[in-house]
Amino acid sequence: MEKSIRAISVTGSVALVVGIAESILGFSGAVRRQVQKTKSARRRLNDNVTTRPPTSAPTATATATAATTPESVDLFGTTYEVGTTYRISQVGSELSGTIPTEIGFLTELTHLFLGLGDIFGDIPSEIGCLTSLKALNMFGNELSNRVPSEIGLLTELTGLFLYNNKLTNGLPTELGLLTQMSVLSVHHNILSDSIPSEIGFLTNLSIVWLSYNQLSNCLPSEIGLLTKLMALGLAYNSFSSITPSEMEALTHLNELYLSNNQLSGSVPSSLCANPGLIEIQVDCLLDSFPVDPVGCSCRECTCAGS
């Protein structure tokens, strides 16, 4: 029985991706209308927020199955039947080694949980074959290298949990295709570069945890499009600036963590009007951290380390 998967582009998958991209073209108009309805931030967001779709179709492609599809797939010592496995939940010391490419045969999966183990190496591109996935959770392992662009094929995904790994490089722009996603949790990795502007398409996001990485440059203005956000964690990165126009529309925000960056600017006072606001954490002028503080007039503002 052949157990390998040939990684080649599939015409049907390309058509799928193009269709997704076309849907985003129409979706961007809805995003623009949503922003225009936001009272306090309307004018500044129209001036500063970029709502254009990606300039080209995403490059994510699914992978072809082998000539003979196996009846089952072995995953970290457990055998799963192809075509009838919908959920996988394995945790702890039983998880050791790399993720086999054969995981791409389990196309009926809706929930994949592989946490708190010793899984190392890449997230295989064959993950893009699991197009029925609604939740992907691989936290607390030793996964490294990039988040594959094929992640953009998982358009049913509502939660992506890859925190506490060793993932590097930037977040793929194909994340912008995951418009059903409500939770993005990739904190405590080694991610670098900027947050892709395509994050603005993910208007169903309510929780975004990006803290404890090496993300840099300015916060993208498209952050202002995520009007359902309730929690935003950006602490312990290398972001360089924040402007009120990027966040005034985030009127549902309860928690905002900005400390231990290289930020200048101010937190918009309009956030203080949110009755559900719990905490905004910023840097202050401390001898141990001598940077310009981020201005914040909310009573809920606290100094990092205080």
pLDDT at 236 over 50: yes
Q: How far is CA 297 from CA 279, 280, 300, in A?
A: 12, 10, 8
The predicted pLDDT at position 262 comes to 85
- pLDDT, greater one: 290 or 197: 197
Domain layout of the chain by residue ranges? 11-303
Q: What is the mean pLDDT of the chain?
A: 80
Burial code (b: 16+ CB inside 10 Å, e: under 16) for 229-250 equals: bbbbbbbbbebeebbbbbbbbb
Q: Please list, in sequence order, all residues whose beta carbon lies within 8 angstroms of the beta carbon of residue 160, skipping any fewer than 6 positions away.
A: 136, 151, 178, 181, 183, 184, 185, 186
Position with higher pLDDT, 218 vs 167:
167
Q: How confident is the model over 80-139, as pLDDT tens digits?
A: 999 999 999 999 988 999 999 999 999 999 999 999 999 999 999 999 999 999 999 999
| CA neighbor of 220 nearest in space, from 239, 202, 236 | 239
Q: Select the more confidently predicted residue: 8 or 288.
A: 288
pLDDT tier at 68 (50, 70, 90 boundaries)? Answer: confident
Residue 106: predicted pLDDT = 98
Q: Report the distance separating Cα 109 and Cα 132, nearest Å.
A: 6
Task: For residue 189, give both structure tokens.
Answer: 């990795």
Q: Which CATH number fits domain 11-303: 3.80.10.10, 1.10.20.60, 3.10.20.30, 3.90.850.10?
A: 3.80.10.10
Read out DSSP for 150-176?
GGGG-TT--EEE--SSEE-SPPPGGGG
Q: Is the pLDDT of residue 237 over 70?
A: yes
3-state secondary structure at position 247: coil
Taking 3-state DSSP, the helix, strand and coil percentages for the chain, each rounded to the nearest 5, stand at 25, 25, 55
pLDDT at residue 290 tops 50: no
Q: What angle do CA 302, 234, 134 make, to 5 degrees?
A: 125
In this structure, are residues 96 and 75 in contact, taking their beta carbons and an 8 Å threshold? no
pLDDT of residue 276: 85
Q: DSSP secondary-structure letter at 295?
A: B
| pTM of the complete model | 0.78
* pLDDT for res 167: 98
The top-scoring range by mean pLDDT among 64-68, 76-80, 93-97, 246-250 is 76-80
Radius of gyration of the chain (CA): 21
Give residue 61's pLDDT: 57
The reported pLDDT for the residue numbered 87 is 98
Band the pLDDT of 252: cuts 50, 70, 90.
very high
pLDDT in tens, 161-181: 999 999 999 999 999 999 999
Output 93 or 154, whichever has higher pLDDT: 154
